Amino acid sequence: MQHFPVFMAVKGRRIVVSGGGDAALAKLRLLLKTEARIEVYAPEAEPEVEHWAAEGRLSLYRRPIEAADLMGAVLAYGADEDDLLDARLAALATETRVPHNIVDNLEDSAFITPAIVDRDPVVVAIGTEGAAPVLARSIKADLEARLPSSLGLLTRVGRSFRQAAERLPFGRRRREFWAEYYASIGPQAHAKGGEQAVAPALAQLLADHLTASPSKGHVDFVGAGPGDPDLLTVRARRALDGADVVIHDRLVTPAILDLARREALIVDAGKEGFGPSTPQAEIDALIVRHARKGRHVVRLKAGDPTVFGRLDEEVEAVEAAGISFAIVPGITAASAAVAAIGQSLTRRGRNASVRLLTGHDVKGFADHDWKALARPGEVAAIYMGKRSARFVQGRLLMHGCDPETPVTVVENASRPEQRVLVTTVSQMEPMMSEARLDGPALTFIGLAPRAAQAAVRNLAQEAVS
């Protein structure tokens, strides 16, 4: 982001505009929506500007702008449509330290004016860093159509109830009240009875919510997928939107946590406050404790919560506490990793079953039916398989696996740092150790990347070197 959006306090403060032609007119139409004091400096001005001056909506000075005019102003616009005059304004503004905008000149401007959707006090500002004004206009048109014109009025009435609504407990119950007002009760009252019907409807709604029985907590066990926010389910996004508390794994990416409701409490159950790895019993207790306070808890787990996620222990704790819960499935690492290499997990004539294995469990390296796994054509996806690679390799070879059986490791599947390593059972160690895999990695036994194999191999080697 080269420009940071902010909303500036301009009430009663001075905004100066140099120029009185078309460019100035366009900016003035926007500026006149504010409660700032507008001053226009122009030897000649369009009749509309003269008209606004006569109405007292702005002050018009029929002369060029001077440094003294800029002193103490909050913003300055150079709208003379003349390079020399623009450069002069920029110099004066720099000298007097007033942020300036030269109309249609991104490079020489200290700030830019966004496209605006105005439902005062709800204001949406849209910017594209000057790169795509056409896109900004089409986004603006979409939003204009989506935001009801009564929104400004509803918000103003809502604002006058802010204090009264504080009688509802902070969090889910207060949020549900406001959501119902903006989504249904408010617009309905306005449509039926006009402006004066809105406040009584809101008062009634508040009374209803105050007498309703306090809501019980709820826990959603949500799959966050492999890391790319685009691979979240719609239901997962909805759960994140409504969460009071998000308790997440170490593997959940910041881009996904960013989607949680802004006010949500975010708890990292992988580390932080709990030492390097939080004991399972503590996580169970943490979930129950937050839900008991009547909160909507999202327990966010990497991939699919039902795959190597210790889900059952958490579900049992929640059930035992009499708290309602739901499981929202996610895309598991094996699905994302196999997509990355253009293969499928099962294939007619090759393998009619696929195994999801863990490299190690709580007791150490996990044991499996090695004999079955060593058979030609078998496909296995190994989770948490970095440290156990040599153990897996040894067991497979011991049970007669063809040393040339393909092995593919996908690190950081679906993320920008994704890497693919292509090897064989006989080579997987030392190759995997040498590759210094820092991110989560999934190992496929019996699968090589499709077609562009050679290219992928080069990539892997580059990444390793």
Taking the least distance from each CB to ligand SAH, the nearer of 70 and 334 is 334
Q: What is the DSSP letter of 239?
A: H
365: alpha, beta or left, given left = phi > 0 and alpha = psi -120 to 50?
beta
Q: Note whether 242 binds ligand SAH by CB under 6 A.
A: no
> In this structure, what token pair is assigned to residue 374?
């060593």
To the query of whether residue 27 is one of the catalytic residues in this protein, the response is: no
Q: Measured from the CB of residue 364, what is the shortest distance to ligand SAH in angstroms?
A: 16
* Measured distance CA(103)–CA(112) in Å, rounded: 9
Taking the least distance from each CB to ligand SAH, the nearer of 408 and 412 is 412
Q: Note whether 248 binds ligand SAH by CB under 6 A.
A: no
Residue 354: enclosing H or E segment and its boundaries?
strand 354-358
Residue type, 465: S
Q: Measured from the CB of residue 441, what is the shortest distance to ligand SAH in angstroms?
A: 5
* Measured distance CA(111)–CA(101) in Å, rounded: 6
Q: Note whether 414 binds ligand SAH by CB under 6 A.
A: yes
Q: Measured from the CB of residue 240, what is the shortest distance to ligand SAH in angstroms?
A: 17
Among the candidate windows 147-155, 156-164, 406-414, 453-461, which touches ligand SAH by CB under 6 A? 406-414
* Measured distance CA(110)–CA(75) in Å, rounded: 10
Q: Note whether 252 binds ligand SAH by CB under 6 A.
A: no
Among the candidate windows 28-36, 208-216, 291-299, 332-340, which touches ligand SAH by CB under 6 A? 332-340
Q: Measured from the CB of residue 412, what is the shortest distance to ligand SAH in angstroms?
A: 5
* Measured distance CA(406)–CA(422) in Å, rounded: 8
Residue type, 281: A
* Measured distance CA(230)–CA(289) in Å, rounded: 31
Among the candidate windows 42-50, 232-240, 405-413, 425-433, which touches ligand SAH by CB under 6 A? 405-413
Q: Measured from the CB of residue 283, what is the shortest distance to ligand SAH in angstroms?
A: 14
* Burial status of residue 85 (CB atoms within 10 A of its CB: 0-12, 13-18, 19 or more): middle
Helix, strand or coil, per DSSP, at residue 39: strand
Taking the least distance from each CB to ligand SAH, the nearer of 138 and 346 is 346
Taking the least distance from each CB to ligand SAH, the nearer of 99 and 439 is 439
Q: Note whether 221 binds ligand SAH by CB under 6 A.
A: no
Q: How many CB atoms lie within 10 A of CB 340?
A: 21
The answer to whether the beta carbons of residues 401 and 373 sit under 8 Å apart is: yes
> In this structure, what token pair is assigned to residue 346?
């099962």
Instruction: Name the residue with the smallest CB distance to ligand SAH.
Output: 303
Among the candidate windows 92-100, 303-311, 320-328, 424-432, which touches ligand SAH by CB under 6 A? 303-311
To the query of whether residue 80 is one of the catalytic residues in this protein, the response is: no
Q: Which member of 18, 101, 278, 332 binds ligand SAH (CB under 6 A)?
A: 332
Q: Note whether 388 binds ligand SAH by CB under 6 A.
A: no
Size of the site for ligand SAH (CB under 6 A): 23
Q: Measured from the CB of residue 333, what is the shortest distance to ligand SAH in angstroms?
A: 3
Q: Which member of 236, 286, 357, 413 binds ligand SAH (CB under 6 A)?
A: 413
The answer to whether the beta carbons of residues 443 and 256 sit under 8 Å apart is: no
Taking the least distance from each CB to ligand SAH, the nearer of 247 and 441 is 441
Residue 457: enclosing H or E segment and its boundaries?
helix 453-464
- The residues near 421 (Cβ < 8 Å, ≥ 6 apart) are 408, 409, 411, 431, 432, 435, 460, 463, 464
Q: How many CB atoms lie within 10 A of CB 453?
A: 16
For residue 380, CA distances in Å to 172, 203, 371 come to 43, 61, 13
Q: Which of 80, 86, 220, 249 is catalytic?
A: 249
Taking the least distance from each CB to ligand SAH, the nearer of 53 and 441 is 441
Q: Which member of 410, 428, 437, 445 binds ligand SAH (CB under 6 A)?
A: 410
Q: Which member of 80, 220, 304, 378 binds ligand SAH (CB under 6 A)?
A: 304
53: alpha, beta or left, given left = phi > 0 and alpha = psi -120 to 50?
alpha
Which residue(s) pair with 267 in the sheet? 247
Paired sense of beta strands 419-424 and 354-358, if any: unpaired
Residues 420-459 that bind ligand SAH (CB under 6 A): 440-442
Q: Which of 271, 293, 367, 438 is catalytic?
A: 271
Give the binding site for ligand SAH (CB under 6 A).
226-227, 251, 301-304, 307-309, 332-333, 337, 383-384, 410, 412-415, 440-442
Which residues are designated catalytic? 249, 271
